[in-house]
A and B are shown apart, each in its own frame.
Chain A
Amino acid sequence: MILKIKIPETVREQINEADDDRIYYALPVDINRESMYAENSYLIVTTKRILLFEEGKLVKALPISECGNAKATARVGQGMLTIEQNGTLTLLCRFSHGLIAKYAYIARGINILASGRFEEVESNEYEPSCPICGRAIPGTSKCPHCSGEGGIVKTVRRLARPYHRSLFGIAILMILASVTTLLNPEIQKHLVDKVLLEESPSKSAAFLCLAGMFALSLGIVFVNVAKSFYSTKLGARMSHDLRGELFDKLQATPLSYINDRRPGELLNRVVSDTRVIREFMETVFCNLFTVAFIFVCDIVFMVILNPGLALLTLVPAPFAVAILLAFRKSINRRFHLQWVKNDDQSSNLQDVLSGMRVVKSYGNEKSESEKFLRLSNEYARVQMNNESFWAVFNPIIGTVLGLGLLIVVFFGGKQVLEGEMTAGELLQFMTYTTLLYQYINWMANFPRALMRLKSSVERISDVLSYNVAKKGPGEAIDINGEVVFDHTTFGYKSYKPVLEGIELSVRKGEKIGIVGPSGAGKSTLINLLMGLYEADDGVLLVDGKDIRTLDRKSFHSQLGVVLQETFLFSGTILDNIRFARPEASMTEIIAAAKIANAHDFICKTPGGYDTYVGEKGYSLSGGERQRIAIARAVLADPKLLILDEATASLDTESEYLVQTALSALTKNKTTFAIAHRLSTLKDCDRLIVIDGHRVAECGSHDELIAAKGLYYELLTAQLQMQKA
């Protein structure tokens, strides 16, 4: 994202830049003090000052040395930048929601400058709309409109390279198709002028012409079928290859990349964007050369044949295009509306059906059915409107497209009668006109199809060009178990830190219990430890090595993880346990299941270890799923064990059994365990309390009780609850 926008000269003049006081950041301020949209207002940060401009005038200048703790906070529909000036919290400026992320970077930048360092903060998040043309950018780094034709042509060329042989073949077929199509009227003319209108028409010559026409028609059909077949095949292959490439790439990208994108967007790239490419190959590309070739030849032939008439025929063409475009727009609007209404109706139906128990138990059937009737009525009304629109306008469009032909028949007919043109030529001319208008429709649609392709190609190449392996292959590691968080800071959104400046040093073999209120960031802490996200600031060291430099595969194979949301793949219990180590033997799997206290319940299912767990494991209870996940972690024989509420869904007895089994297993292995039930953590060497984005307390059970802090409060609250 751009953190230094272009500012008008009049504002710039008031800044008084100096060699040691240059502009670092400049952003617009779009909400003023009166809560109205502001114009020509800016927040500018220089090396030494923070300057606020309102309506082009400098209204505030603060020396950075007096400032600290700058913060951009999100509010409903807006955000604000606050700062502590000589210890007093002050409001600097307000801005609309879209600027919050940028201001968060600026806040970080101000804090860095305030601390006496001079590095400039950069953001690699994407701009939501194009700074040049103002259009929304569909989730890519560059605007597909402004990226320049060169860019897209290059990407298409790159994407098409492996297929150039098929492409060449299809191009030949396309030209063949146009040649055969264009030959037909020529023979027709010959048939009429040279055979039928002769004094004594020769039967054999007529048959010869007919045979030629028949052969050509057959040829057209054959070429077209071949062309469609190969284009479809090529489209399917291209989109298949792309899907594979995208999938591999997505698996290799860090989670934060996926997290930065809107949900469903990446799914779209894999599924719909590749489909767009396939459809383009099938419906547009396969006709591209044919249409262009025919179109050009058509016009050339017409002009050679009869320049005057050709000109007359072409007159209605622009009108036809305009009417077609307007018509298509209106149709799109109408059918979109119909689709929305249909959606309303079905989502209401879905709502009521799935909530039938609630509806019935409150006796609301009548009002619900009235609501549904109303929606259904709306839908019916829109549908009827659309159908009548279609019924009226479709023939009108047909007439408009037939207009050219009408002109040809009228003026051409006159010329034939006057002897300036032969009947065969008129026939030929009419066929050309029909062809021309047939393809006008296609041509009018072409820019739209091209833009759709462009957006999709842009989005796909955006993922493919994302540089994953910028750090080269990581360093293989044999984990010893020493973990250090050094000033680690992280937030899922740049403007909302979840963890700030975490300091924690864990020795090999230590068992760490993590507690804290819900949403404090416990799971986030271990997400960092698992290397799923990268810290925004500070480092995370494993055995003294920065986690970012480690080889992911070697690192992950030594982690044992039981996550809060137990995730099982659809497959059998065996598949799910074995996921951790595909080469494990059956004996090892059974041993792992026994440790997880899962063996007994697995035996009771009719399918044993081959029981199918259903989509995401929904056919199992929460506790059963959790035990399978534990077995999976145990089987991995990890050097570093991470348990996020691993036993939360178990009854007290199984929890006890699993705990004892696990503690035998985790002896001498570094373990991080998160739990809300504090009794679960009594074996831990050290407990840390996460609260307010930080490590609020850290120490052994006894130390924390003696400190009478947060942990003590949590513990007494839980004990009281048990007594009650």
Chain B
Amino acid sequence: MEDRDKTLTFFESEGGFLGVKLGDNTYDRVRAVRLFPFTDPAKYISIRVGNDMGEELSVIEDLAALSPEQRELVERDLDLNYFLPQIKEIISIKDEYGYAYFHVVTDKGPVRFAINMGGTNVTKLSETRLLITDINENRFEVRDVTKLTKKEQRKLDLFL
């Protein structure tokens, strides 16, 4: 392939989705995909054609390198693709007959959910970072267990 103009110019399409101009081509619908959704959510974003993850147009190495308007457009699409509430506060955890019922406050607002106690529904991403998967396959993250209060940590202890 020849030396193509590799700069991407994002825009909002008519239906409210992310579109992009690349050289002479215009794509009305592209999707932004995180390559490292946990380790580095703001870096290495793959831009793919269509609604169904088609061909890869390019990988943005760092979102910070984009202009603020362009960046906002990409982040808006990322928001549509990823919903990973972070648990900030644990109000209560109740366990009953094999299920644990959580009532928590996340960065997306307060929520209640239930997990199955039997399986590996609480995984450690690192020593202090947890990923909780509920019975509906919703996922919740605890960024840093040590940031929770001692009391909250004790409630979580059962799952660690």
Binding site for B on A (CB under 8 A): 31, 35-37, 73, 75-78, 80, 82, 85, 88-91, 94, 96-99, 128-129, 134-136, 138, 333, 336-337, 340, 451-452, 455
B14 proximal to A (CB < 8 A): yes
Residues B79 and A89 in contact, CB atoms below 8 Å apart: no
18 contacts between A and B (CB under 8 A): A31-B108, A35-B79, A36-B108, A75-B81, A75-B82, A77-B138, A77-B139, A78-B82, A80-B80, A90-B15, A97-B136, A97-B137, A129-B114, A135-B101, A136-B114, A136-B135, A340-B159, A451-B97
Write out the residue numbers on chain A whose beta carbons fall within 8 Å of the beta carbon of B29.
Answer: 89
Flag whether B23 is at the interface (Cβ < 8 A): no
Which residues from chain A contact B16 at a C-beta distance below 8 Å? 90-91
Partner of A96 from B14, B83, B101 at Cβ < 8 Å: B83
When the two chains form the complex, which single residue of B83, B97, B111, B114 contacts A77, counting CB atoms closer than 8 Å?
A: B83
Does A94 lie within 8 Å of B80, measured CB to CB? yes
Check if B24 is an interface residue, CB within 8 A of chain A: no
Pick the contact of A35 from B97, B101, B108, B135 — CB < 8 Å?
B108
| Bound complex: CA A97 to CA B113 (Å) | 12
Q: Which of B99-142 contact A (CB under 8 A)?
A: 99, 101, 106, 108-112, 114, 116, 134-139
In the complex, which residue of chain A has the Cβ closest to the Cβ of B141?
A: A77
Cα A649 to Cα B153 in complex, Å, equals: 52
Return chain A residues, CB-CB under 8 Å to B15. 82, 85, 88-91
B158 touches A336 (CB 8 A): yes
Task: Establish whether residues A340 and B160, one from each chain, have CB atoms under 8 Å apart when the complex forms.
Answer: yes
Query: Which residues in A have their C-beta under 8 angstroms from that of B109?
Result: 36-37
Q: In the complex the two chains form, what is the Cα distance from A452 to B97 in whole Å? A: 7
Minimum Cβ distance to chain A for residue B86 (Å): 11
Identify which of A90, A97, A128, A333 contacts B158 (C-beta below 8 A): A333
Q: Choose among A78, A89, A455 the residue that contacts B97 (Cβ–Cβ < 8 A).
A: A455
- Other A-B pairs beyond A455-B97, A455-B98, 10, CB < 8 Å: A37-B106, A73-B51, A76-B81, A77-B83, A91-B80, A96-B136, A98-B138, A135-B96, A138-B98, A337-B157
**Once bound together, how far apart are the Cα atoms of A333 and B112, in whole Å?**
22
Q: How many residues of B contact A (CB 8 A)?
A: 38
Is B8 among interface residues, defined by CB-CB distance under 8 A?
Answer: no
Whether B145 is near chain A, meaning CB under 8 Å from some CB there, is no
Complexed CA–CA distance, A88 and B157 (Å): 50
Considering the chains assembled together, what is the distance between the CA atoms of A75 and B139 in angstroms? Answer: 12
Specify which chain B residues have a CB less than 8 angstroms from the CB of A80 in the assembled complex: 80
A91 to B135, CA, bound (A): 26
Are A88 and B14 closer than 8 Å at their CB atoms? yes
Kindly list the 10 A-B residue pairs having the minimum CB-CB distance in the complex, ordered from nearest.
A98-B136, A78-B83, A37-B109, A77-B83, A136-B99, A90-B15, A89-B15, A136-B114, A97-B138, A76-B82
Q: Which residues of A contact B44 (CB under 8 A)?
A: none
Find out whether the CB atom of B114 lies under 8 angstroms from the CB atom of A135: yes
Chain B residues with Cβ under 8 A from A36's Cβ?
Answer: 108-109
- With contacts A37-B108, A77-B139, A88-B14 taken as known, whether A337 is within 8 angstroms of B98 at the C-beta atoms is no
What's the nearest-Cβ distance from chain A to residue B54, in Å? 10
Tell me the bound Cα distance from A85 to B119 in angstroms.
43
B137 touches A98 (CB 8 A): yes
User: How many angstroms between the C-alpha atoms of A540 and B92 in the bound complex?
Assistant: 52
- B83, A35: Cβ atoms closer than 8 Å: yes
Cβ contact within 8 Å between A96 and B138: yes
Q: What are the residues of chain A within 8 A of B110 when measuring CB–CB?
A: 37
Query: How far is the CB of A107 from the nearest CB of chain B, in Å?
Result: 14
What per-residue 1/0 map shows which CB atoms of B5-20 lie under 8 Å from chain A?
0000000011111000
Name B37's closest neighbour in chain A (CB-CB): A76
Least CB separation from B33: chain A residue: A76
Contact status A75-B83, CB under 8 Å: yes
- Least Cβ distance of A302 to chain B in Å? 35
Q: How far is the CA of A90 from the CA of B28 in the complex (A)?
A: 12
Contacts of B138 in A (CB 8 A): 77, 96-98
Bound-state Cα–Cα, A333 to B81, Å: 37
Which of A73, A128, A135 interacts with B136 by CB under 8 Å?
A: A128
**Cα distance, A78 to B134, chains bound together (Å):** 13
Give the Cβ gap from A337 to chain B, nearest Cβ, in Å.
6
B84 at the interface (CB under 8 A from A): yes
A82 engages B108 (CB within 8 Å): no
User: What is the bound-complex CA distance between A471 and B101, given in angstroms?
Assistant: 41
**Chain B residues, CB < 8 A from A333:** 157-158
B12 to chain A, nearest CB (A): 11
* Residues on the A chain within 8 Å of B85, using CB: 37, 77
